[in-house]
Chain A
Amino acid sequence: MTSIARAGGPRRAAEGPRYASGAGSICRVDGDVAYVVALCGLPGMGQATLRRLLETSPAQRRWAQVCAGTLAPAVLSRRVRVADARARLERWRETALDVDPDDVLRRAAARGVASHVLGDPTYPAVLARESDAPVVCFTSGGGALAGSTPGAPGGDDLERVAIVGTRSATHYGAEVAAELGAALGDRGICTVSGLAAGIDAAAHEGALASGATPPLAVVGGGVDVVYPACNRRLWARVSAAGTILSEAPPGGRPEPWRFPLRNRLVAAFSDLVVVVEAHRTGGAMHTVDAALARGVVVAAVPGSVRSPASEGTNALIADGSAVARDVDDIMALLALARASRPPARHLGRPAGAAQREGSATQGSLLASPPAGGDLASDPRGGEQEAAGGWRGGAARDLDAVILAALDERATGLETIVCRTGLGLGDAAVALERLVESGAIRRRAGAYERLARPIGLGSL
């Protein structure tokens, strides 16, 4: 109970005024949608820049300025150097000259992509409350997305739980994610995830298997750009049964900078964030940070202390996050969050909230592990010797040589032998040992190093 209170707390209570709808600050003219979408599609255009452009001038005029090349570099962030800003504006102009805004909108609609501009009745209500709400977002899929429609994925009255985690999930993680997705669906709770590989995909699979509640996917690239390709079928099914949402324009490539922003939206949409499996760093932790910044409860699924894929989640639990062992835990947490929501507007902050806020502003709960928490940094320190014969001292040396030759990219035995000069038999045994210890992973006949070699602290 205490841990829940520490990690959770009142949702959007204290931040209420800060996250008040920013709709008023955008200059709006009827029929502007096409120009907003066209502006959004310019190369390197993020929602923050778009917002800065549209706060002072309607979209149609901005578009004309972009085409004419009369946009002042100062409208871009002050952090951008003037020369860079000019180069970007020039690139925009070149791109814009080939674009007909009406055509962009028509083609998007033809592909089943709907555009929602901040302030539209269809704009998701929960997003509108964000201080940095996207000026425009795009959706595809059967589930209607409407801020005011009861029960719609973007609406205010549907409860949503984000199930997030690592892309390199273990079998355990994928199973748990799918079970949770299905169980939540059965209880009428919308599963929010990122439609990435691993945990995300498993969660959506589970939600679809339940079939009772349409899931919501918040993706990094355009809603019509399948990424990763192995999710092609899942993508179509989510689109058919639920909603796919993105702030990237239709056809927008899944550029790396878009993913942290995507994670912020996942957190914004959710009443509860469940991390099923996470490495110590990675996208799932971005989502956790974003959730904590918004006062959204974060729960973690406990995992094996030997699994690198559970390092992040176990560390979250150690740092006081809520624990989600099964769907009942999640339902209890949701009930608490719900109970604390409406009255929280009038109540003061619960004890400990300030303290939590402190660590949240530092970026992450993980950034400041509890004093004396050395355990988390090397949970398997002296485990290796215990297992006897084939893990002797000489074996450890071999393992070290192999580990030094590996990185996060998949590497075949051939290359490993070339790099290390080891015999085939020795290398094969050492690889087998390392896979078992969890320091590396075998996939499709190749090996890759996992985030942190376990039990080889000397390296």
Chain B
Amino acid sequence: MLASVPAATLLGVEGRPVAVEVHVSAGLPGFTIVGLPDAACREARDRVRAALLSSGLAWPLQRVTVNLAPSGIRKAGAGLDLAIAVGLLLATGAVEPEAASGCAFLGELGLDGSLRIVPGMLALVDAVVAGAVVVPLGSLAEARLVPGVRALGARSLSEVVDVLAGRGTWPDVPVTVPVPSSPEETGACSVDLQSVRGQVVARRAVEVAAAGGHHLLLAGPPGAGKTLLARCLPSLLPPLGPTEALETTKVHSAAGLALPSSGLLERPPFRAPHHSSSAVALLGGGTSSMRPGEISLATNGVLFLDELGEFPPSLLETLRQPLEDGSILVARARASIRLPARFLLVAATNPCPCGEGGRRGACRCSPAMRERYLRRLSAPLLDRFDLAVPVERPNALELLGEPKGECSAAVAGRVAAARQLALDRGVRSNAEIPSNHLDELAPLSGPARRLLVERVRSGELSARGLDRVRRVARTLADLDGTGEVVGAEHTALALELRSGREVLFGGRAA
């Protein structure tokens, strides 16, 4: 007696269809799972047995073989539990074969027969080869995001069996399982720009970064407000578009992170990995399911690296290629997968170990120490930052007396308008304008051109730097709403918003 149940397994952020074949025959009672299951998957045997018994179903005293086809790819996790249980019931005849035809099953079983959610449900449902799919009720909202598949939810194995036996109907209730949403998803941890006192220049830099997708480096002494500024960014970014939201949700789901109750991440993610993070944690891979790393989790959002100088230099260098490509190819012996990694990089750094950056009297670092500290940041990496802003400590007057600055909502309005202008140009953001289209998309006014020519001639600006300045100037002009031509004030300010690299590195990274 043979049964086959469609299901799927997760690799990276994509699902792979899996057919769970269950064969029950006479012989010594036993239960074997073949087809490259990993440890969690192999343990399905004990979970399925306990779940069946707890649900009042019979455990066949026969020889049971479960094959996970195709047997060439590694099956990770407990997501195949439900499919194995249903396949077993079909094979033993406890459930009529017609009842389950064309329906896939995804979910982990508890010993009491309850259905539990598994990471990557969105990708899994997307991958199954079936017209309908049964998922744990907690994942129903997420599963319903996939078009073309009828998603059905169940609380337990007995509920599934009851429906399949015609004794009940699928519970079509909104999700009753409370899903804890982390504050990062809801945007609760994001700070309103209004709480930043003073910092006119840095505020503008944050606004430009949000509007144009320009990578931002904040350099300054401790207590200047670098981290606070970076945390304001999520509140400035527009909500994710449908495609982006689905992509980001897929990654977060695959990493097993909690999703909002709607199942869809609509706010850009904000990820701030600590500088002790490992390469695998940052880039992805590592488990047999190739869990996405922090750079993928930050896709369509912000990756914030606080204390950039404290990150191991080798780790920082690995970021260069994803920054260029918008994705990362993680290759392991068994598989190589491409994970999305298109994020806005925001970094904060002190100018030296003590943070005072050579200020006479305040800095306790020798020139050699400073140089060693800054040598960790390679010129190619620094080159990726369109914006590098020195952040000075606000003075007492600004902290106490100054009127509050604009709130995030006002700035977000301008940012959204500027983003729309970029989309109208056919690029996702101004930072992605190709060099050969700059003349057409970011034409310079006479004085602006003069200014840039002067800088290039004096050797202060390289050819690559020139393109970056022009893109930033484009964004500044978009934010001001001054039309197609980029003026001198935008160009001059764009140059100014790069001056942080001079502060940090003198002429080293021009």
A residues with CB within 8 A of B: 229-230, 232, 389-390, 412-415, 417-418, 423-426, 428-429, 431-432, 436, 442-446
The 3 A-B pairs with the shortest beta carbon distances in the complex, nearest first, are: A425-B489, A445-B499, A428-B492
Do the beta carbons of A390 and B200 come within 8 Å of each other? no
Do the beta carbons of A444 and B506 come within 8 Å of each other? yes
Do the beta carbons of B450 and A390 come within 8 Å of each other? yes
Tell which of A232, A390, A413, A443 touches B447, judged by Cβ atoms closer than 8 Å. A390
Q: Is B383 in the interface zone, CB < 8 Å from A?
A: no
* Measured CA separation A229–B79 after assembly (Å): 65
Contacts A412-B390, A413-B499, A445-B499 given; indicate if A389 touches B446 (C-beta within 8 A): yes
Restricting to B165-207, which residues have a CB under 8 Å from any CB of A? 198-202, 204
| Binary contact track B479-494/A, C-beta < 8 Å → 1, others 0 | 0100000011110110
Q: Is B467 in the interface zone, CB < 8 Å from A?
A: no
Restricting to B300-348, which residues have a CB under 8 Å from any CB of A? none
Do the beta carbons of A445 and B490 come within 8 Å of each other? no
Do the beta carbons of A418 and B198 come within 8 Å of each other? yes
Residues from chain A with Cβ under 8 Å of B490 in the complex: 425
Q: Is B500 in the interface zone, CB < 8 Å from A?
A: yes
What are some 26 contacts across the A-B interface (CB < 8 A)?
A229-B367, A389-B446, A390-B450, A412-B392, A413-B201, A414-B198, A414-B199, A414-B390, A417-B200, A417-B201, A418-B198, A424-B493, A425-B476, A425-B480, A425-B489, A428-B493, A429-B488, A429-B489, A429-B493, A431-B496, A432-B451, A432-B488, A443-B502, A444-B503, A444-B506, A446-B503
* Measured CA separation A230–B370 after assembly (Å): 12
Do the beta carbons of A414 and B367 come within 8 Å of each other? no
Residues from chain B with Cβ under 8 Å of A390 in the complex: 447, 450, 488
Residues from chain A with Cβ under 8 Å of B495 in the complex: 428, 432
Do the beta carbons of B488 and A424 come within 8 Å of each other? no
* Measured CA separation A164–B111 after assembly (Å): 88
Do the beta carbons of A426 and B489 come within 8 Å of each other? yes
Do the beta carbons of A418 and B476 come within 8 Å of each other? no
Do the beta carbons of A232 and B454 come within 8 Å of each other? no
Restricting to B214-256, which residues have a CB under 8 Å from any CB of A? none
Count B interface residues, CB 8 Å.
Answer: 30
Do the beta carbons of B392 and A414 come within 8 Å of each other? yes
Q: How far is the CB of A230 from chain B (nearest CB, A)?
A: 7
Residues from chain A with Cβ under 8 Å of B506 in the complex: 444
Q: Is B43 in the interface zone, CB < 8 Å from A?
A: no
Q: Which of B201, B204, B476, B503 has the most CB of A within 10 A?
A: B201
Restricting to B423-462, which residues have a CB under 8 Å from any CB of A? 446-447, 450-451, 454
Tell which of A417, A425, A443 touches B492, judged by Cβ atoms closer than 8 Å. A425
Residues from chain A with Cβ under 8 Å of B454 in the complex: 436
Residues from chain B with Cβ under 8 Å of A424 in the complex: 200-201, 204, 493, 496
Do the beta carbons of A418 and B367 come within 8 Å of each other? no
Q: How far is the CB of B368 from chain A (nearest CB, A)?
A: 9
Contacts A389-B447, A413-B201 given; indicate if A445 touches B500 (C-beta within 8 A): yes
Tell which of B201, B451, B476, B502 touches A414, judged by Cβ atoms closer than 8 Å. B201
Tell which of B200, B446, B502, B503 touches A418, judged by Cβ atoms closer than 8 Å. B200
Q: Is B406 in the interface zone, CB < 8 Å from A?
A: no
Q: How far is the CB of B387 from chain A (nearest CB, A)?
A: 13
Residues from chain B with Cβ under 8 Å of A431 in the complex: 492, 496
Q: How far is the CB of B508 from chain A (nearest CB, A)?
A: 12
Q: How far is the CB of B332 from chain A (nearest CB, A)?
A: 44
Q: How far is the CB of A394 from chain B (nearest CB, A)?
A: 12
Residues from chain A with Cβ under 8 Å of B476 in the complex: 425
* Measured CA separation A423–B392 after assembly (Å): 18
The residue in chain A whose Cβ has the minimal distance to the Cβ of B391 is A414
Q: How far is the CB of A336 from chain B (nearest CB, A)?
A: 39
Q: Which of A229, A425, A446 has the most CB of B within 10 A?
A: A425
Q: How far is the CB of A292 from chain B (nearest CB, A)?
A: 34
The residue in chain B whose Cβ has the minimal distance to the Cβ of A390 is B447
Q: Is B398 in the interface zone, CB < 8 Å from A?
A: yes
Q: How far is the CB of B75 from chain A (nearest CB, A)?
A: 55
Tell which of A229, A232, A413, A443 touches B496, judged by Cβ atoms closer than 8 Å. A413
Starting from the known contacts A415-B392, A428-B493, 14 additional A-B residue pairs (CB-CB under 8 Å) come to: A229-B367, A413-B499, A414-B201, A418-B398, A424-B201, A424-B204, A425-B480, A426-B489, A428-B489, A428-B495, A432-B488, A442-B499, A444-B502, A446-B503
* Measured CA separation A418–B502 after assembly (Å): 22
* Measured CA separation A429–B390 after assembly (Å): 18
Residues from chain B with Cβ under 8 Å of A423 in the complex: 489
Restricting to B367-406, which residues have a CB under 8 Å from any CB of A? 367, 390, 392, 398
The residue in chain A whose Cβ has the minimal distance to the Cβ of B482 is A425
Q: How far is the CB of B201 from chain A (nearest CB, A)?
A: 5
* Measured CA separation A158–B5 after assembly (Å): 100
Do the beta carbons of B200 and A414 come within 8 Å of each other? yes
Contacts A417-B200, A428-B492, A436-B454 given; indicate if A445 touches B502 (C-beta within 8 A): yes
Residues from chain A with Cβ under 8 Å of B489 in the complex: 423, 425-426, 428-429
Tell which of B390, B446, B493, B500 touches A425, judged by Cβ atoms closer than 8 Å. B493
Do the beta carbons of B493 and A230 come within 8 Å of each other? no
* Measured CA separation A414–B204 after assembly (Å): 11
* Measured CA separation A224–B446 after assembly (Å): 54
Residues from chain B with Cβ under 8 Å of A425 in the complex: 476, 480, 487, 489-490, 492-493
Residues from chain A with Cβ under 8 Å of B480 in the complex: 425
* Measured CA separation A324–B390 after assembly (Å): 42
Q: How far is the CB of B325 from chain A (nearest CB, A)?
A: 31
